[in-house]
Amino acid sequence: MSYAPPHIPGIVLISGATGDFGTAFARRFAALGSRLILTGRNTEKLKALADSLDVPTHTLAFDVRDRKAMEAAVASIPADFAAIDLLINNAGLALGMEPAQKANLDDWEIMVDTNDKALAIMTGLILPGMVERGGGHIINLSSTAGSYPYPGGHVYCASKAFVTQFSLSLRADLLGTGVRVTSVEPGMVETSFSLVRFKGDAEKAAKVYAGTTPLTAEDVAESVTWAATLPPHFNVNRVEIMPTVQAPAGLAVHRFKKN
């Protein structure tokens, strides 16, 4: 006997849709029959993804760091796609792993703008409609890095801590509105994430996953789909997932030799 989810979102907006996570999410919700709004920077990649999905799909090409472009794109959503049931704030990235005192400040700015400011603005644009309709769901892609920071993570880890706390704060604000909020916090996942972090250095990126069995984008999509398809009275506040080969690290200790 096949399992039928108790709740299927009618219209799903996915930011960063052409990345590994975004594409996996799009395929999952398309399989459920949801109509999709896909956002990203690359028009051709968005079109190719939309063409591969057997559901009505609307695409919006803009850079999430450009607030005016985001506002214009959201304002342009046609009426038959406007009643968004599920917003998946997925766009995000990490850049560099140098210690903080050697970090590139441009990288810091890009991470904050993308991971935090853009996520908050997108939420602010979509949320009023959900509240007005008396229901909806916002799923924010955070990371275990927000709870368990590591050397070289500094601003990336902090940016994901913001996402988790923003999600929990939204829960408090939205109590009684019927709008759900979930923070999904994956650990090690083998995607293009590390290739982006190391700015195209494939050798460095490969070492991150060497000798391990990490999660996949499809694993994360499984968690997102599970949270999104639960009955509307059921809110999952946080989902923290890791591969079996990973665990929260112990506290770092610097040891020195006595003279």
Q: Write out the catalytic residue numbers.
A: 156
Beta strand residue intervals within the chain, DSSP E: 11-14, 35-40, 57-61, 86-89, 136-141, 179-186, 238-241
Q: 93: closest CA among 108, 65, 115?
A: 115
Q: 149: closest CA among 255, 21, 250?
A: 250
Crossing angle (nearest 10°) for helices 118-133 and 154-173: 20
Position 30: which residue type? A
State the DSSP H helix or E strand holding residue 132, giving kind and residue range, or none if neither.
Answer: helix 118-133
